[in-house]
């Protein structure tokens, strides 16, 4: 996509990820690829936030000291091509969603999320405990922040076969979709439906994820004039690459089925690309 370069002061970015080491040598439990998100976060792939929260609750919290976050926007956003791209994407997402809320009369509900960009490290989040790069990109509702370790983009391209700028924008826009769900209250509605009906928890989780995919499509659909040849294909490739069936080699069970199949994820993105967010809203209408 041909996005405009971000303007200073237009976006909220910080970088709180370390270089990978665990401070103070208190490595017990961290650093073996273990995910230690202690509160619920929404992931782009792979993890069931419900299970994750249950697994680590109260165990790992507080082991990693959070260093001071870098909030120098220029430094963060120009630190790599990925970072620059993400900052441009964030500005565009802010503008598109602020405009959408405004147009529908909910302008006062809109709040920008923060983007926390780091590389090859662990991150001590402000609201969701700590996580390693293995968690992949995620959104933490408690601090309304999207966390992206940019090394995930290498994984996406080299291991999952989904390269290209639009594939990366899709990941960012999906996490942004979880922010939209948070500020509209859809997340908390789903969360309480899950608590009332645990046997449907995974199914509801899948609907949340598909809606976030759909919202990602809406952003792109509303910026159709900026889409370049090949972008849509890159997005579809990425959506398919992070489908539950693809990631598990077809061994999908109710426990690991949390984000939808490759087909469902591509369909949700395609639905969103028509540019109508209300079509996405219907995904979580569970009656
Ligand atoms: Zn997600």
- Of the candidates 174, 126, 115, which has an alpha carbon nearest to the alpha carbon of residue 150? 115
Query: What pLDDT is recorded for position 164?
Result: 95
Once rounded to an integer, what is the mean pLDDT over residues 197-221?
94
* Range of lowest pLDDT (44-53, 61-70, 139-148, 168-177): 44-53
Tell me how far apart the alpha carbons of residues 43 and 37 are, in angstroms, rounded to a whole number.
11
Measured in Å, residue 211 CA sits from the centre of ligand 1 at 9
Once rounded to an integer, what is the mean pLDDT over residues 34-46?
51
DSSP string, 61-122: TTSSPPPPPB--HHHHHTSSHHHHHHHHHHHHHHHHHHHHHHHTT-GGG--PPEEEEE-SSE
Measured in Å, residue 180 CA sits from the centre of ligand 1 at 12
Give helix then strand counts, H and E, for the chain.
Answer: 11, 7
Return the higher-pLDDT residue of 62 and 19: 19
What DSSP state is assigned to residue 259?
A: S
State yes or no: pLDDT of 204 exceeds 80: yes
Q: Are 124 and 24 in contact (CB under 8 A)?
A: no
Measured in Å, residue 225 CA sits from the centre of ligand 1 at 26
Six token digits for residue 81: 């091509």
Measured in Å, residue 259 CA sits from the centre of ligand 1 at 7
Once rounded to an integer, what is the mean pLDDT over residues 51-71?
49
Tell me how far apart the alpha carbons of residues 148 and 58 are, in angstroms, rounded to a whole number.
24
Query: What pLDDT is recorded for position 277?
Result: 94
Measured in Å, residue 183 CA sits from the centre of ligand 1 at 15
Per-residue pLDDT tens digits for 69-112: 899 999 999 999 999 999 999 999 999 999 999 999 999 999 99
Strand runs labelled E in the chain: 12-14, 42-43, 114-118, 122-124, 130-132, 138-140, 145-149
SS3 breakdown of the chain: % helix, strand, coil, rounded to 5? 50, 10, 40
Six token digits for residue 285: 């209408």
* Range of lowest pLDDT (96-105, 183-192, 246-255, 274-283): 246-255
Contacts of 203 (CB under 8 A, 6+ apart): none
Query: What pLDDT is recorded for position 98?
Result: 98
Measured in Å, residue 43 CA sits from the centre of ligand 1 at 4
Measured in Å, residue 46 CA sits from the centre of ligand 1 at 9
- Per DSSP, the three-state class of 168 is helix
State yes or no: pLDDT of 31 exceeds 50: no
Q: Could you tell me the pLDDT band of residue 192, with boundaries at 50, 70 and 90? A: very high
Return the higher-pLDDT residue of 285 and 82: 82
Which residue in this structure is represented by tokens 């999906």?
174
Query: What pLDDT is recorded for position 42?
Result: 64
């Amino acid at each position: 996509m041909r996005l405009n370069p971000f303007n200073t002061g237009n976006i909220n970015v910080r970088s709180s990820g370390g270089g990978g080491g665990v401070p103070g040598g208190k490595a017990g439990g961290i650093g073996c690829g273990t995910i230690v998100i202690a509160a619920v976060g929404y992931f782009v792939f792979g993890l069931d936030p419900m299970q994750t929260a249950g697994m680590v609750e109260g165990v790992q919290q507080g082991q990693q000291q959070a260093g001071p976050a870098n909030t120098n926007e220029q430094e963060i956003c120009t630190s790599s091509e990925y970072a620059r791209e993400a900052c441009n994407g964030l500005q565009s997402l802010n503008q598109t969603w602020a405009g959408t809320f405004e147009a529908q009369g909910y302008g006062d509900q809109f709040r920008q999320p923060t983007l926390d960009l780091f590389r090859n490290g662990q991150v001590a989040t402000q609201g969701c405990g700590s996580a390693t790069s293995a968690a992949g990109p995620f959104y933490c509702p408690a601090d309304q922040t999207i966390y992206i370790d940019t090394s995930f983009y290498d994984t996406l391209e080299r291991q999952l076969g989904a390269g290209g700028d639009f594939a990366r924008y899709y990941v960012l826009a999906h996490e942004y979709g979880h922010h939209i769900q948070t500020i509209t209250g859809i997340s908390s509605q789903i969360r309480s439906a899950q608590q009332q009906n645990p046997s449907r928890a995974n199914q509801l989780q899948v609907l949340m994820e598909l809606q976030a995919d759909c919202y990602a499509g809406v952003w792109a659909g509303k910026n159709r004039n900026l889409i370049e040849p090949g972008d849509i294909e890159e997005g579809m490739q990425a959506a398919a690459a992070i489908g539950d069936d693809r990631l598990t080699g077809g061994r999908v069970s109710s426990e690991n089925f949390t984000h939808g199949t490759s087909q469902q994820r591509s369909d949700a993105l395609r639905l969103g690309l028509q540019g109508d967010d209300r079509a996405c809203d219907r995904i979580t209408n569970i009656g």
